[in-house]
Amino acid sequence: MTWGADNLPYGVFSRRGEAPRVGVRYGDRVLDLAAALHDEVFAAPTLNPFMARGRTAWHDTRTLIVNKLTSDLAITEPHLVPLDQVRLHMPFEVADYVDFYCSLEHATNVGRIFRPGTEGLLPNWRHLPIGYHGRAGTVVVAGTPITRPHGQLGAGRFGPSAKLDIEAELGFVVGVPSELGAPAGAFEDHVFGVTLVNDWSARDIQAWEYVPLGPFLGKSFATSISPWITPLEALPRIPGRAQDPEPLDYLRRQSDWGLDVSVEVSLNGEVVSRPPYSAMYWTPDQMLAHMTVNGASLRTGDLFASGTISGAQREERGSLIELTWNGTDPIKLAGGETRTFLEDGDTVTIRATAGGRTLGEVSGTIR
């Protein structure tokens, strides 16, 4: 089945009138972990306390859950709650949120659009995974309505954004903190799992504000994540994309953290793009190494995202600004409709699969 024993992502759910608690998705049901495993860490309203326990605990818990769902299924059955009886919540409390810019094709496309007449890619891009801090307090769970932001669209011009866009990304969730003043350890010792991210972006606000300190209000109004966090153990790993020039020592890959994840972006139910995560230039282990090489510490709940996933083909681009070349080349939808950027009432859904398993979906509707 799609959500089988080889998948088992974690989330936070509640039954009507009850407090949120941690569960694992299995088929169309949620396993109530506090009840099934008799462990109070799962009675918390976020994954943070469990994520802080570290890699050995994550592995042992997964083994235990698989046992409960296979050999002990008869005893476990009462703790499996049908999905239609629960509400899903933010799965973890976000500490810091960092967004990277790891797709060569995305950085090139956006560079050409924002800086016409240039090559697009800037001189530093191939040397380090470019990133910036986003607003942690406005990361919301899938399904939260997205209010179209107002802001400055140019000198003396104010109004609702006319270039509301999406960015299809993978997000990585930190479980184990690191010390201030030293680089973090191995990727798999810190990172708990993966979520899907839609980094909503108001391109007109962003274009006016982003020089010289980067995106701010063009991004900070909302970032949506999927309710299920897939543990690293469930992901199919592949070698990362070849890099030229050879990265500096601290960015050198120690093991394969390329991910064979296929992403699909739908607008009002119609697929408009299929970005391949395998095409990403910088891998998540490199993002983590870069983010902490200056001694910046990690906290449980830190979220860092890949940046827009875009492949080499037009139909693999993970944002509307690329798909429509900043609105100059609208996409055609069924029934004769077209889109440059998002209109009120539009629903965007980002889905991802990896090795036949689903990583879930993140959707949001503009109001």
Residues 147-176 that bind a copy of itself (CB under 8 A): 147, 149-152, 155-156, 158
H or E element: which one contains 99?
strand 97-100
Per-residue x/- track, 196-225, a copy of itself (CB under 8 A): ------x--x--xxxxxxxxxxx-xxx---
- Say which residues have a Cβ less than 8 Å from residue 67's Cβ, sequence separation at least 6: none
Among residues 293, 331, 333, 366, which is the contact residue for a copy of itself, using CB under 8 A?
293
CB closer to a copy of itself, 212 vs 345:
212
Binding flag, residue 117, a copy of itself (CB under 8 A): no
**What is the spatial distance between Cα 54 and Cα 48, in angstroms, rounded to a whole number?**
11
Among residues 57, 296, 333, 366, which is the contact residue for a copy of itself, using CB under 8 A?
296
Answer for the pair 138, 222: CB distance below 8 angstroms, yes or no.
Answer: yes
Among 63-71, 146-154, 262-270, 310-318, the segment contacting a copy of itself (CB under 8 A): 146-154
Residues 72-111 that bind a copy of itself (CB under 8 A): 95-96, 98, 101, 111
Considering only CA atoms, which of 293, 306, 303 is closest in space to residue 100? 306
Classify the phi-psi angles of 8: left when phi > 0, otherwise alpha if psi is within -120 to 50, otherwise beta: left
Which residue bears the tokens 């690329």?
322
Answer for the pair 109, 125: CB distance below 8 angstroms, yes or no.
Answer: no
Of residues 59, 79, 106, 290, which has the active-site annotation? 106
The nearest distance, CB 225 to a copy of itself, in angstroms, is 14
Binding flag, residue 297, a copy of itself (CB under 8 A): yes
The nearest distance, CB 230 to a copy of itself, in angstroms, is 24
Query: In this structure, what token pair is assigned to residue 319?
Result: 């944002």
Beta partners for residue 340, in sequence order? none
Size of the site for a copy of itself (CB under 8 A): 64
Query: In this structure, what token pair is assigned to residue 136?
Result: 């942690």
Beta partners for residue 196, in sequence order? 170
Among 5-13, 82-90, 229-237, 293-301, the segment contacting a copy of itself (CB under 8 A): 293-301
Binding flag, residue 61, a copy of itself (CB under 8 A): no
Backbone phi, psi, residue 187, to 5°: -50, -50
Residues 231-250 that bind a copy of itself (CB under 8 A): 245, 248-250
The nearest distance, CB 115 to a copy of itself, in angstroms, is 8
CA dist 121 to 103, 113, 200, 358, Å? Answer: 11, 11, 22, 33
Among residues 1, 73, 75, 122, which is the contact residue for a copy of itself, using CB under 8 A?
122
The nearest distance, CB 319 to a copy of itself, in angstroms, is 15
Residues 299-338 that bind a copy of itself (CB under 8 A): 299, 302
Considering only CA atoms, which of 288, 352, 303, 290 is closest in space to residue 136? 303
Which residue bears the tokens 């009675």?
43
Among residues 79, 87, 135, 237, which is the contact residue for a copy of itself, using CB under 8 A?
135
Parallel/antiparallel/unpaired status of strands 191-198 and 357-365: unpaired
How much of the chain is helix, strand and coil, in % rounded to 5?
A: 25, 30, 45
Per-residue x/- track, 4-43, a copy of itself (CB under 8 A): ----------------------------------------
Active site residue 106: yes
The b/e string for 6-44 (b: 16+ C-beta within 10 A; e otherwise) is ebbbbbbbbeeeeebbbbbbbbebbbbbbbbbeeebbeb
Binding flag, residue 113, a copy of itself (CB under 8 A): no
Binding flag, residue 116, a copy of itself (CB under 8 A): no
Binding flag, residue 136, a copy of itself (CB under 8 A): yes
Query: In this structure, what token pair is assigned to residue 126?
Result: 């191939």
Beta partners for residue 347, in sequence order? 365
Binding flag, residue 132, a copy of itself (CB under 8 A): yes
Residues tagged active-site:
106
Which residues form the interface with a copy of itself (CB under 8 A)?
A: 95-96, 98, 101, 111, 114, 122-124, 127-128, 130-138, 140, 144-145, 147, 149-152, 155-156, 158, 180-182, 202, 205, 208-218, 220-222, 245, 248-250, 290-291, 293-299, 302
